[in-house]
C-alpha cells in the first residue's frame, strides 16, 4: 500500500557556502521557467559580487525559491559544476532510501511538482516565494521502494518508445510542411490543373485579363483615384523562370496592384480607438488577433493619409524575420496599419485569391529573398517588389486552381490537427504513467509499465482522440451551422462569438471535436477553424458570411437542411447546446471573451489539482494576456458568479 510521506522526508536542503576570491572569475547560475533548465546567467569577478554565495555541483537538483511555482527547477549540468548561487536558490540531497532518485527527477518534469511548489509558496503579489514549512510539510503517497525501482525500469523503456514516437511525429510535420509547399509550387506552375486544361480548351487567355486590368488602371488614374506609376521595362527572357502552360502570361506585380506603403515611424498607441494591424499581426496566410493595439480616433485619418485598407486587399510584410508573410484582409471593422507593411490593392476583380497563394509559394518566397537588401534586418523595397515577374493564368483557370489548393490545404490542416493531437496525447500518456507512482490508492499489481499503452489511470488527464474522421469535421460544421441558424438575426453574432460558443459547447457537453483552440489575446481561438467554417457553410449553401453588414450571416437556399443531421449526431447534447445558445443569445463579443477565458483558466487550475478560488481565477485571467487588463475585477467577479449559477464551469470529473 502506498504510504504517506512528507516532501521533507526525502528532499533535504543543503548549502555549500563559498568564500569568494576578489580576483577570481565565477559562473553564476539562473533557472529558466517552464521546465527549460539550469543555465549560465553570467560570469563575474569575486570583487563585483556583494551577496553571500553558495556553490553547486553537477547533478544537484536545484530550484528558484521565487519562480519554482512557474517550473523554474532542474539539474545542474556538468558545465556549471562549481558555479555559485544566492540563497534564493535551493538545492537538495535526495534520500534514495525513501524515493528512487530517477523516478523523482522524472516526476519533476510534470505539473505535479509545479503544484507542490505553488502550494509551498506564499507572500505578497510582488514577493511570492517558497516557504520552508509550507513546502517541506506537504504530503505525497509513495509505493514501496522495490515497486518504485521496478516502475522506473519499465518507464525508461516507455520513455524510449515515446521518444521514437515524438521523432516520428516531428518527421511527419516536416513532410507536411513540404507537402504544403509542393501544392503551392505545382499550383503556380500549372501542374495542378493540367487535366482541367484538357477538359476546358479555348478559354479566354490571361492576356485578355491583363488588358482589362490595364484599362481599369488607366481609368483610375484619370479619375485621380490612384497615382500614375513609372513605367517598368519589358520582361526579359532571363526573368521568365520556367515555361508557362498555354494561355498563361508573365507580368510584373505592379501591373496588377496599387501599392500603399505604410513603412515609417511607429504611431502613438492609445487605450482604445481604431485597431492597429502591423507586421506583428500578419502571419503566413492570416491576420492574428495578438497583439491587440490601438491608435486614437483623432489620429486615425491623419495617420492613414496614404490610403485605407479594405476587404479583399493583401497585406504584405516587407522586412524583418517575417518578410514575405501575406494575409488577406477579411476584417469586419475599420482598422489602421503601419510598420513594415504594404497594402496590395487589386486593380480589378477576381485574381486576388490566386496572387495570395502565389505569394506563399516557394517560387515567390525565393524571389523576394533574392531581391532583399540589408543584413541585420533584411527587407525588400517597394520598387523591387513592384518589378517582380509573376505568372498569371486565365481567370477561369485561376478559380479552378484556387479551389484545388484550398481543398488540398484543408486536408493538410486536418492532418496537422491529427499530428498535434497525437503529440498532446503522447505527452499526456507520459504524465499519466508518472503520476501512477504517486497515487494514494492501493496498488493491485506492480506499477511497472509493460508497453507504450499504460494501464488506465484515474481520469485526471483530458486525453484527446488521436484521429478525427470526416464525420468529426462534419459534426463540427453542423454545430457551427446550428449556432448560426439560431443566432443569425442577432447583430452580436460574428466570428469571435461563434468561436467562443463552439468552444463552450464542446467543453460543457464534453464533445471531442477536431479543434485546436490556442491561447490568444481574445481568449481560446482556433485560427484555422475560423478560416474554414465560412467556406464550408457557403459550400453547403447554408449561410454566407458578409463582413460589412450588421447581420454577418445571410441564409442561403439550403439554410435549415443541416437540422436533420444535427438532430442525429447531437441527440444527447442537443438540449444543452440550445440552452447555452439561449444564455448567450444577446451577449456581445467581450462577454463571450471573458466567459470563455475564465472557463479555460478554471479548467487548467483543476487539471493542476489546484483549489479554485475567485482570486486565483482572476490572477490566471490577467496572466492570460496583457490585453485582459482592460476588464475590471468587479466584472470578472460578476462573470464567475454567473457562470457558477448557470453551471458553466468545468469539473474534475471531465478534465
**Inter-residue contact 30 to 89 (CB < 8 Å):** no
What pLDDT is stored for residue 436 in this prediction? 58
- Report the sign of the C-alpha dihedral through residues 641, 646, 647, 649, in that order: negative
E strand residue ranges, 401-497? none
CATH number of 3-142: 3.90.220.20
Domain boundaries, the chain: 3-142, 204-393, 470-654
Low-confidence ranges of the chain (pLDDT < 70): 1, 124-126, 263-265, 375-377, 427-428, 430-470, 652-655
**Inter-residue contact 583 to 91 (CB < 8 Å):** no
Closest by Cα among 271, 270, 257 to 310 = 257
256 three-class SS: coil
What burial class does residue 104 get, using C-beta atoms within 10 Å of its C-beta: 0-12 exposed, 13-18 middle, 19+ buried?
Answer: buried
Q: Is 204-393 in the same CATH topology as 3-142?
A: yes
d(CA 542, CA 544): 7
What pLDDT is stored for residue 466 in this prediction? 36
**Inter-residue contact 300 to 336 (CB < 8 Å):** yes
Residue holding cell 503517497? 141
511: how many CB neighbours lie within 10 A of its CB? Answer: 20
Q: Domain 204-393 belongs to what topology?
A: Adenine-n6-DNA-methyltransferase TaqI; Chain A, domain 2 (3.90.220)
Under DSSP, the state recorded for 371 is T
Beta bridge partners of 276: 336
Beta bridge partners of 3: 142
d(CA 636, CA 640): 6
Answer yes or no: pTM beyond 0.85: no
Amino acid at each position: 500500500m502506498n504510504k504517506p510521506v512528507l516532501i521533507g522526508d526525502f528532499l533535504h536542503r543543503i548549502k555549500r557556502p563559498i568564500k569568494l576570491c576578489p580576483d577570481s572569475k565565477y559562473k553564476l547560475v539562473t533557472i529558466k521557467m517552464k521546465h527549460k533548465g539550469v543555465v549560465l546567467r553570467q560570469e563575474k569577478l569575486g570583487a563585483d559580487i556583494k551577496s553571500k554565495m553558495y556553490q553547486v555541483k553537477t547533478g544537484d537538483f536545484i530550484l528558484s525559491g521565487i519562480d519554482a511555482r512557474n517550473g523554474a527547477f532542474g539539474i545542474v549540468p556538468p558545465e556549471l559544476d562549481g558555479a555559485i548561487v544566492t540563497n534564493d536558490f535551493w538545492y537538495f540531497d535526495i534520500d534514495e532510501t525513501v524515493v528512487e532518485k530517477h523516478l523523482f527527477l522524472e516526476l519533476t518534469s510534470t505539473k505535479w511538482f509545479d503544484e507542490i511548489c505553488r502550494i509551498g509558496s506564499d507572500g505578497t503579489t510582488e514577493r511570492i516565494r517558497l516557504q520552508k514549512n509550507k513546502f517541506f510539510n506537504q504530503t505525497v503517497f509513495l509505493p514501496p521502494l522495490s515497486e518504485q525501482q521496478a516502475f522506473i525500469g519499465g518507464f525508461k523503456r516507455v520513455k524510449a518508445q515515446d521518444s521514437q514516437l515524438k521523432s516520428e511525429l516531428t518527421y511527419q510535420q516536416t513532410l507536411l510542411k513540404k507537402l504544403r509547399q509542393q501544392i503551392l509550387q505545382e499550383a503556380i506552375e500549372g501542374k495542378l490543373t493540367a487535366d482541367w486544361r484538357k477538359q476546358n480548351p479555348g478559354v479566354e487567355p490571361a492576356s485578355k485579363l491583363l488588358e482589362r486590368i490595364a484599362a481599369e488602371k488607366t481609368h483610375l488614374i484619370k479619375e485621380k483615384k490612384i497615382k500614375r506609376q513609372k513605367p517598368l521595362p519589358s520582361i526579359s527572357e532571363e526573368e521568365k523562370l520556367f515555361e508557362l502552360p498555354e494561355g498563361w502570361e508573365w507580368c510584373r506585380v505592379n501591373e496588377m496592384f496599387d501599392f500603399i506603403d505604410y513603412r515609417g515611424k511607429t504611431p502613438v498607441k492609445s487605450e482604445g480607438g481604431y485597431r492597429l494591424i502591423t507586421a506583428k499581426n500578419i502571419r503566413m496566410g492570416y491576420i492574428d488577433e495578438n497583439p491587440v493595439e490601438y491608435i486614437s480616433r483623432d489620429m486615425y485619418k491623419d495617420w492613414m493619409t496614404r490610403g485605407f485598407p479594405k476587404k479583399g486587399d493583401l497585406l504584405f510584410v516587407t522586412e524583418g524575420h517575417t518578410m514575405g508573410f501575406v494575409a488577406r484582409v477579411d476584417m469586419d471593422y475599420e482598422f489602421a496599419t503601419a510598420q513594415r507593411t504594404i497594402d496590395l490593392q487589386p486593380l480589378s476583380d477576381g485574381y486576388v485569391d490566386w496572387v495570395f497563394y502565389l505569394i506563399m509559394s516557394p517560387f515567390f518566397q525565393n524571389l523576394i529573398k533574392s531581391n532583399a537588401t540589408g543584413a541585420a534586418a533584411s527587407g525588400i523595397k517597394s520598387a523591387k517588389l513592384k518589378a517582380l515577374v509573376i505568372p498569371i493564368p486565365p481567370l477561369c483557370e485561376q478559380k479552378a486552381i484556387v479551389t484545388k489548393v484550398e481543398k488540398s490545404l484543408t486536408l493538410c490542416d486536418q492532418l496537422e490537427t491529427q499530428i498535434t493531437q497525437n503529440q498532446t496525447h503522447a505527452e499526456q500518456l507520459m504524465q499519466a504513467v508518472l503520476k501512477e507512482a504517486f497515487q494514494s490508492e492501493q496498488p493491485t499489481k506492480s506499477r511497472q509499465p509493460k508497453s507504450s499503452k499504460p494501464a488506465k489511470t484515474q481520469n485526471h488527464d483530458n486525453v484527446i482522440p488521436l484521429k478525427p474522421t470526416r464525420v468529426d469535421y462534419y459534426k463540427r460544421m453542423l454545430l457551427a451551422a446550428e449556432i448560426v441558424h439560431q443566432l443569425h438575426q442577432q447583430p452580436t453574432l460574428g466570428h469571435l462569438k461563434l468561436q467562443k460558443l463552439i468552444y463552450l459547447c464542446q467543453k460543457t457537453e464534453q464533445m471531442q471535436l477536431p479543434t485546436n483552440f490556442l491561447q490568444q489575446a481574445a481568449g481560446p481561438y482556433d485560427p484555422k477553424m475560423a478560416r474554414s467554417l465560412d467556406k464550408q457553410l457557403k459550400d453547403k449553401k447554408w449561410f454566407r458570411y458578409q463582413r460589412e453588414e450588421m447581420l454577418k450571416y445571410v441564409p442561403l437556399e439550403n439554410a435549415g437542411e443541416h437540422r436533420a443531421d444535427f438532430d442525429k449526431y447531437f441527440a444527447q447534447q442537443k438540449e444543452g447546446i440550445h440552452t447555452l445558445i439561449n444564455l448567450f443569445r444577446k451577449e456581445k463579443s467581450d462577454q463571450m471573451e471573458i466567459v470563455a477565458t475564465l472557463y479555460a483558466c478554471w479548467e487548467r487550475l483543476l487539471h493542476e489539482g489546484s483549489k479554485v478560488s475567485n482570486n486565483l481565477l482572476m490572477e490566471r485571467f490577467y496572466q492570460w494576456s496583457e490585453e485582459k487588463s482592460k476588464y475590471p475585477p468587479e466584472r470578472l467577479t460578476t462573470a464567475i458568479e454567473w457562470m457558477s449559477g448557470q453551471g458553466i464551469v468545468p469539473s474534475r470529473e471531465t478534465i
